[in-house]
Each structure stands twice: as structure tokens, then as C-alpha cells.
């Protein structure tokens, strides 16, 4: 493998890991703050991609689709928290698993009623549609680079909000000790609602940015859900930095696994997960058990 | 006690009489429902009695089915006596490996890890060319028991198949009841109710849970073997986590604390699905809404409606925390 091919694969790995991070950070935030395991997270990723397809087809603009898609997901997140998720706080994990499974069935059926079973594609914005000519027969799409840049900005924003702002302080305090935060007079129920909505919006955003380079199809949420779980298990639950580490590890493992060990590439990330479980059961950046 | 024995005898008589009273389609449908009931009871050993919410039992279920498909010789029937033990062994081994890794974690981690490893097996059969890849594979002839060329038991007959499944179901109920009532079962429940206390009493929690998980996976394998034999077809979806979650719904409907509850849950859900599929194209939407309502309105399963309907009180439902204290005498 020459240097250029290696560089291209490395970029692919990072880009893949970045999108994974967007989706998984939403999942880990929701679990870390709300203590709720949300299996429907992947369904919102799928929904984001469909919204991007639908809105872009109507308006002709990917940017409108992006903003509107995230906004819709955010509002849906607020509504869902208010109607369903709120009743799950303090309930056992089984109830959370089954409620979110019920949500998946409902969302999937709505998707089928609204968009059908067809596979769709979305065009990237015109000025990002080209590609860089690297060598005579090797080029790299501009849009993939743009994803890397965009996800980096979003990741930086997430970290800034969490580490530098008052909201971030509340979120961190809540992840540390829910009861104590509430006792200190912080309106935690409101925080919960917005964190859930942000988590859902991040999942949808992941689906929106991936739509132009992948196809939009009904089962896309399931694969992403499993991958986000693996990311969270690798990085440690509730840790956004852990999600970043886990997502990049999976991006690298999956991309280079397909290059070097194509026959076993589909199970490599699970081997990685097994290894991390043997080494640190609570994840690479997870807190140790008391 | 006498009352519940009476109910059991009546139900058994009804189950035996069923194939002679209804058309073949319903005999096959009943077999399918019993197979799912077996899977749900197997899962409940881990979920209800062990407190281990597993999302990979469909993988054990499907793996056993695939073993039957791979061992079936072309268009001839496979031998039940060799393929069933091998299929169950494969499921038990998978449960041992996955359980040993997943049980290093707790709570929500455990759910995620079992889900991920279950999907690993799904992708193993989906993405590689083993047994037809994503298209699945056929089990052309149903397994049989034959000695020296004479066929003793032919699962090709729906009635014979039904009775074999019924026999395995009753054996499963007996085995699970024995396990749950044994000191081992009490220790398992103690670890579920208060892990730290059970550990400080000296129980080897990890080993107890692992054994329960493996037994549970093995019984799921028995169910998967018969499911593959009945449909004559295996596909990766058999291993997918949507099936695991559906079986969890059956467990919740039937109630977590009894052995046979999940069987009832399976019969209810399978019957409901059949009804919904016949009446509407959007049956998944209705099913999803029903699941959500059950979770929000009936945290202890539909069983809590029974006393209201039948006017009896549920005595066994509330086992106090003294279970942990009793189990000390192991």
C-alpha cells in the first residue's frame, strides 16, 4: 500500500469515526444524564437521513434540509421526552429497553407510510460535489473532507459547551450525582428534556450528513445503533471524550480491517470490544467500579 | 396448590386434544407458538430470575437453527439424535463465550454488550457465504429418528411434530421449575435482588450467573432447532435483535417472576400478531403502541390484570427479600 492510498483510507477512517461520534455522543449524553437507555436512537439517525432526502427534494437545498431536519428532530425529542421518556426515570432497564423498542416499531411504520420502502439518494451541495484529483487514477470527494471538518466543529462545540459553560456545568454535575444536583435547586427536569432533545438532534444530524455519501434505506438505523453501542461500551458510558476515542477506534478498525483482513472485517470491531471488556470492563475512559 | 395442579391438568388435556380438534394449519400455528413460548421461558431464566436483561437470545436461537441447516444432508432428513445435541451444544458454547465477556459488566452495559455480540453473530451469517449469506438456507427435509433404516419418528407429520415440541416444552417447564426452586435458583435470585449482599455471603455470583446464562442459551437453542425444522428455512433475521426484543415483550406480558408466565405471554403475543396481520397492513404500528402502553401502564406485566379478570389474588407474585436469606443454607 503506497502512501497516497494509505492517506485516503486514513481520511475515510476519520470521516467514518467522526459521524459515528456525532450519533454516539447523543446516546452517551442521554444515558449519562438521564440514565435512560434509548434503543430508538438509531431510528432517529434513519429518520434524519429520510428528512434530509425529503426536504432536499422539496426545497432543492441541502442546507435547508440540514437545518430543518435538526430542528424537527429537536422538537420531536422534546415531545417524546415529555410524553414517554419522562415516565421512565427510575424505572428498570427492561422497561426502558421495551419502551424504546415500541418506539422503533412505531417510527418504522410511520417511515413506511410516509416514505415507503424504497432506497433513496441525496445530492450534496453543489460547491461540495467535486473531488480532488490526487494521482492519475485516484481522487477524493470534497464532501467527505467537508464532513470531517463539520463534525470536528460540532465536536468542538459539544466539548466547549460541556467544559466551559454553565449549562455544561449542570450537565456534568447531573452525570456525576443526579440527586445532589436536584437538591441544589437546579431544575433538572428541564435539563433532562433538553439533553434528550439534543441527543435525538445529534442522531438525526449524523443521518443528515451521511445521506449524500451513503444511500438512504429503511434498515440504516439498526446498524448505526449497534455501532453506537459498541462506541459507548469502548469509551465508557456518559463520557463524551470516551465516545470520541471509541468512535475513532472503530473508524480505524473497520476501515483498515476491510483493507487488510477483508474476510473477517465484519467481526473485527466486536473482537476489539471483547478485548476492551477483558481489559477495562467499564470502557477506556469509564469510571472504575467501586 | 391443588387449584394450580387442576389448571395444569386441564391445560395439558387441552394441549393433547388440540391436534385432533382443529385443522392442520392451526396445529402448525400451535407448534410455532409453543416454540416461541419455549424461547421466552428460556430468556426469562436470565431476565426474570437472574436480572440479566439479555438482547442476544435470538442469536442462540438462530445459531441452533443454522447448525441444523448446515448438518442436513441435501434432500434427506437429518438424524434428530445427532443434530439436536450438536445444535444445542453450539448455542450453549456461544452463550458461554458471550456470557463470560458480558457478565464482566452490569446493568445497561450488559444490555449493550449482549446486543452487540448478538449482532456479531447476525452479521457473521449475513455478510459471509456460510449457509447462503443474507438469503438464508433451506432445511429440505425435517429431521427424523431412524434405527437401522426404520423410521421411528418422522417430524414431517405436523401432528407428530406438535407432540414432540409439546414434550420438549413440558421438559423445559420441569427443568426450569427445578432450577428456580433449587438452592442454585435461590442464589441466582439473591444475586438479582442484592448483588453485594449475595457476594458478601460468599456466593460465586459470576459462575452462578454464567451457568444460568448458558442453560438459558441452550434451551433457546432447542427452540431454534425446532423453529428451523418447522419453517424448513433459516435466515439471518432469526438471529437479529428485533426477535430478542420481541421475546422480551412476551416475557414482560407474561410476568417476570414465574416459570410459565412467559409461555402465556408468547401465546398472547403470537395470537395478537396473527390477528393484527390478518386485519391491518400496519400491524407493527399497533404492536408498537401496545408495547408502549403495556410498559407505561403495567410495569408488572399483563398478569396484574388477571386478578381483576378472574377475581383471584396472585400469591406467588410477591416474593419478599427473604429469598436471599433462605439461600444462605446452600
| Distances A274 to A220, A271, B19, B89, B139 between C-alpha atoms, Å | 24, 5, 47, 22, 33
Residue A251 has pLDDT above 80, yes or no: yes
pLDDT at A289: 46
Task: State the average pLDDT over residues A15-32.
Answer: 90
**Residue predicted with more confidence, B316 or A34:** A34
Picking from A27, A98, A233 by the largest number of B CB atoms within 10 A of its own CB, the best residue to mutate is A98
pLDDT at B312: 55
Helices (H), A35-84: 41-59, 62-83
Q: Which of B48, A204, B145, B199 is nearest to B57 (CA)?
A: B48
Picking from A250, A274, A290 by the largest number of B CB atoms within 10 A of its own CB, the best residue to mutate is A274
Task: State the average pLDDT over residues B196-213.
Answer: 93
Encode pLDDT of A96-142 as tens digits: 899 999 999 999 999 988 888 888 888 888 777 778 777 777 778 88
Full 3-state SS string of chain B: CHHHHHHHHHHHHHHHHHHHHCCHHHHHHHHHHHHHHHHHHHHHHHHHHCCCCCCCHHHHHHHHHHHHHHHCCCCCCCEHHHHHHHHHHHHHHHHHHHHHHHCCCCHHHHHHHHHHHHHHHHHHHHHCCHHHHHHCEECCCCCEEEECCEEEEECCCHHHHHHHHHHHHHHHHHHHHHHHHCHHHHHHHHHHHCHHHHHHCCCCHHHHHHHHHHHHHHHHHHHHHHHHHHHCEECHHHHCHHHHHHHHHHHHHHCCCCCCHHHHHHHHHHHHHHHHHHHCCCHHHHHHHHHHHHHHHCCCCHHHHHHHHHCCCCCCCCCCCHHHHHHHHC
The answer to whether the Cβ–Cβ distance between A98 and B249 falls below 8 Å is yes
Task: State the average pLDDT over residues B101-124.
Answer: 88
Q: Return the domain boundaries, chain B.
A: 22-329
Mean pLDDT, chain B, rounded, equals: 85
Contact A45, A224 (CB under 8 A): yes
Query: What residues contact B260, with CB distance under 8 A and at least 6 apart?
Result: B41, B173, B254
Helix (H) or strand (E) holding A246: helix A240-260
Residue B206 has pLDDT above 90, yes or no: yes
The answer to whether the Cβ–Cβ distance between A237 and B108 falls below 8 Å is yes
CA of B198, closest CA in chain A: separation in Å? Answer: 16
Is there a domain that residue A244 lies in? no
Picking from A43, A96, A231, A270 by the largest number of B CB atoms within 10 A of its own CB, the best residue to mutate is A270
The answer to whether the Cβ–Cβ distance between A267 and B120 falls below 8 Å is yes
A132: DSSP letter: E
Picking from B57, B116, B118, B196 by the largest number of A CB atoms within 10 A of its own CB, the best residue to mutate is B116
CA of A103, closest CA in chain B: separation in Å? Answer: 6
pLDDT at B322: 36
pLDDT at B306: 65
Among A54-63, A246-255, B294-303, which stretch is predicted with the lowest mean pLDDT?
B294-303
End-to-end CA distance of chain B: 25
- Range with the largest mean pLDDT of A255-259, A271-275, B247-251: B247-251
Of B120, B282, B295, the CB nearest to A102: B295
Encode pLDDT of A226-242 as tens digits: 899 999 889 888 788 88
Interface of A with B in 208-247 (CB under 8 A): 222, 226, 229-230, 232-233, 237
pLDDT at B108: 83
**Residue predicted with more confidence, A18 or B151:** A18
Residue B77 has pLDDT above 80, yes or no: no
pLDDT at B1: 58
Residue A288 has pLDDT above 60, yes or no: no
The angle at the Cα of B246, spanning A193 to B47, to the nearest 5 degrees, equals 85
CA of B67, closest CA in chain A: separation in Å? Answer: 20
**Structural domain containing residue A183:** 15-218
User: Residue-wise over B6-26: b if at least 16 C-beta within 10 A, else e?
Assistant: eeeeeeeeebeeebeeeeeee
Show contacts of A114-121: CB within 8 Å, 24+ apart: A114/A50, A114/A54, A115/A50, A115/A53, A115/A54, A117/A218, A119/A215, A119/A216, A119/A217, A120/A50, A120/A53, A120/A215, A120/A216, A120/A217, A121/A53, A121/A211, A121/A212, A121/A215, A121/A216
Phi-psi region for residue A137, left (φ > 0), alpha (ψ -120 to 50) or beta?
A: alpha
Interface of B with A in 64-123 (CB under 8 A): 101-102, 104-109, 111-113, 115-117, 119-120, 123
Is there a domain that residue A43 lies in? yes
pLDDT at B317: 45
pLDDT at A273: 86
**Residue predicted with more confidence, B78 or A144:** A144
Encode pLDDT of B296-316 as tens digits: 887 666 666 666 666 555 444
Of B285, B294, B296, the CB nearest to A109: B285
Picking from B47, B291, B294, B302 by the largest number of A CB atoms within 10 A of its own CB, the best residue to mutate is B291
- Hey, what's the cell of A209? 450528513
Query: What residues contact B272, with CB distance under 8 A and at least 6 apart?
Result: B287, B290
Residue B204 has pLDDT above 60, yes or no: yes
The answer to whether the Cβ–Cβ distance between B288 and A97 falls below 8 Å is no
pLDDT at A35: 83
CA of B244, closest CA in chain A: separation in Å? Answer: 11
Q: Which of A256, A13, A240, A252 is nearest to A148 (CA)?
A: A13
Is there a domain that residue A68 lies in? yes
Is there a domain that residue A146 lies in? yes
- Determine phi and psi for B125, rounding to 5 degrees: -85, -20
The dihedral of CA A69, A72, A75, A79: what is its sign?
negative
Among A28-42, B38-52, B65-79, B178-192, which stretch is predicted with the lowest mean pLDDT?
B65-79
The answer to whether the Cβ–Cβ distance between B124 and A113 falls below 8 Å is no
Partner A contacted by B53 (CB < 8 A): yes
Query: What is the rounded CA–CA span in Å between residue B228 and residue B154?
Result: 15
Is there a domain that residue A10 lies in? no
Encode pLDDT of A166-217 as tens digits: 888 888 887 778 788 888 888 878 888 999 999 999 999 999 999 988 889 8
The answer to whether the Cβ–Cβ distance between B113 and A31 falls below 8 Å is no
> With bands split at pLDDT 50, 70 and 90, how would you rate the model's confidence at B326?
very low
Contact A228, A41 (CB under 8 A): yes
Q: Please list the residues that pair with B150 across neighbouring strands.
A: B147
pLDDT at B328: 37
CA of B277, closest CA in chain A: separation in Å? Answer: 14
**Count of the separate structural domains present in chain A:** 1
Is there a domain that residue A93 lies in? yes
Is there a domain that residue A5 lies in? no
**Residue predicted with more confidence, A220 or A91:** A220
Task: State the average pLDDT over residues B122-128.
Answer: 83
Partner B contacted by A273 (CB < 8 A): yes
Among B165-174, B199-208, B317-326, which stretch is predicted with the lowest mean pLDDT?
B317-326
Contact B87, B234 (CB under 8 A): no
Of A31, A98, A281, the CB nearest to B248: A98
CA of B58, closest CA in chain A: separation in Å? Answer: 15
pLDDT at B308: 65
pLDDT at B243: 94
The residue of chain A nearest to residue B102, with distances taken between CA atoms, is A277
Q: How many CB atoms lie within 10 A of CB A51?
A: 26
Contact A140, A131 (CB under 8 A): yes
pLDDT at B302: 64
Residue B330 has pLDDT above 70, yes or no: no
Domain B22-329 indexed as CATH 3.30.700: no
Partner B contacted by A74 (CB < 8 A): no
Amino acid at each position: 500500500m503506497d502512501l497516497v492510498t494509505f492517506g485516503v483510507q486514513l481520511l475515510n477512517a476519520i470521516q467514518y469515526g467522526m459521524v459515528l461520534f456525532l450519533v454516539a455522543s447523543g446516546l452517551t449524553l442521554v444515558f449519562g444524564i438521564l440514565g435512560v437507555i434509548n434503543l430508538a436512537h438509531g431510528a432517529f439517525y434513519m429518520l434524519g437521513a429520510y428528512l434530509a432526502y425529503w426536504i432536499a427534494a422539496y426545497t432543492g437545498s441541502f442546507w435547508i434540509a440540514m437545518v430543518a431536519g435538526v430542528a424537527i428532530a429537536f422538537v420531536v425529542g422534546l415531545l417524546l421526552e415529555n410524553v414517554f421518556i419522562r415516565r421512565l426515570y427510575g424505572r428498570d432497564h427492561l422497561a426502558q429497553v421495551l419502551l424504546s423498542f415500541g418506539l422503533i416499531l412505531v417510527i418504522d411504520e410511520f417511515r413506511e407510510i410516509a416514505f415507503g420502502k424504497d432506497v433513496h439518494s441525496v445530492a450534496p451541495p453543489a460547491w461540495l460535489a467535486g473531488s480532488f484529483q490526487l494521482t492519475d487514477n485516484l481522487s477524493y470527494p470534497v464532501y467527505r473532507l467537508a464532513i470531517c471538518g463539520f463534525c470536528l466543529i460540532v465536536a468542538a462545540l459539544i466539548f466547549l459547551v460541556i467544559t466551559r459553560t454553565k449549562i455544561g456545568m449542570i450537565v456534568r454535575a447531573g452525570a456525576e450525582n443526579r440527586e445532589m444536583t436536584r437538591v441544589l435547586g437546579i431544575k433538572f427536569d428541564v435539563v433532562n428534556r433538553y439533553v434528550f432533545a439534543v441527543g435525538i438532534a445529534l442522531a438525526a444530524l449524523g443521518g443528515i450528513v451521511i445521506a449524500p455519501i451513503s444511500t438512504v434505506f429503511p434498515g440504516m438505523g439498526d446498524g448505526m445503533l449497534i455501532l453506537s453501542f459498541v462506541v459507548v461500551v469502548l469509551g465508557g458510558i456518559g463520557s463524551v471524550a470516551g465516545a470520541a476515542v471509541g468512535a475513532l477506534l472503530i473508524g480505524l478498525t473497520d476501515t483498515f480491517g476491510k483493507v487488510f483482513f477483508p474476510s473477517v472485517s465484519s467481526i473485527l470491531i466486536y473482537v476489539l470490544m471483547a478485548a476492551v471488556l477483558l481489559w477495562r470492563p467499564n470502557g477506556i475512559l469509564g469510571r472504575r467500579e467501586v | 396448590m391443588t387449584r394450580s395442579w387442576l389448571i395444569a391438568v386441564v391445560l395439558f388435556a387441552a394441549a393433547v386434544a388440540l391436534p385432533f380438534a382443529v385443522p392442520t394449519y392451526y396445529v402448525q400455528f400451535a407448534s410455532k407458538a409453543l416454540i416461541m413460548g419455549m424461547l421466552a421461558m428460556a430468556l426469562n431464566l436470565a431476565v426474570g430470575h437472574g436480572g440479566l436483561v439479555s438482547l442476544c437470545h435470538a442469536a442462540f436461537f438462530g445459531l441452533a437453527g443454522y447448525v441444523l441447516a448446515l448438518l442436513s444432508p441435501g434432500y434427506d432428513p437429518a438424524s434428530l439424535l445427532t443434530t439436536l445435541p450438536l445444535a444445542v451444544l453450539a448455542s450453549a458454547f456461544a452463550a458461554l463465550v458471550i456470557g463470560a465477556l458480558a457478565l464482566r459488566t452490569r446493568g445497561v452495559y450488559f444490555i449493550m454488550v449482549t446486543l452487540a455480540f448478538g449482532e456479531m453473530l447476525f452479521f457473521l451469517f449475513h455478510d459471509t457465504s456460510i449457509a447462503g449469506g443474507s438469503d438464508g438456507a433451506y432445511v429440505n427435509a425435517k429431521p427424523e429418528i431412524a434405527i437401522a433404516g426404520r423410521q421411528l419418528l418422522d417430524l414431517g407429520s405436523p401432528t407428530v411434530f406438535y407432540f414432540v415440541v409439546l414434550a420438549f416444552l413440558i421438559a423445559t417447564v420441569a427443568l426450569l421449575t427445578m432450577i428456580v426452586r433449587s438452592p442454585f435458583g435461590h442464589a441466582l435470585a439473591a444475586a438479582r435482588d442484592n448483588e453485594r449482599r449475595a457476594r458478601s455471603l460468599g456466593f460465586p455470583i459470576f459462575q452462578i450467573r454464567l451457568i444460568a446464562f448458558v442453560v438459558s442459551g441452550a434451551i433457546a437453542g432447542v427452540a431454534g432447532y425446532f423453529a428451523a425444522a418447522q419453517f424448513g428455512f433459516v435466515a439471518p433475521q432469526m438471529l437479529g435483535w428485533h426477535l430478542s426484543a420481541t421475546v422480551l415483550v412476551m416475557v414482560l406480558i407474561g410476568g417476570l417472576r414465574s416459570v410459565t408466565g412467559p409461555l402465556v405471554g408468547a401465546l398472547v403475543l403470537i395470537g395478537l400478531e396473527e390477528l393484527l396481520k390478518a386485519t391491518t397492513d400496519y400491524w407493527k404500528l399497533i404492536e408498537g403502541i401496545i408495547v408502549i402502553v403495556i410498559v407505561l401502564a403495567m410495569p408488572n406485566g399483563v398478569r396484574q390484570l388477571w386478578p381483576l379478570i378472574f377475581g383471584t389474588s396472585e400469591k406467588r407474585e410477591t416474593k419478599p427479600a427473604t429469598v436471599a436469606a433462605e439461600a444462605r443454607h446452600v
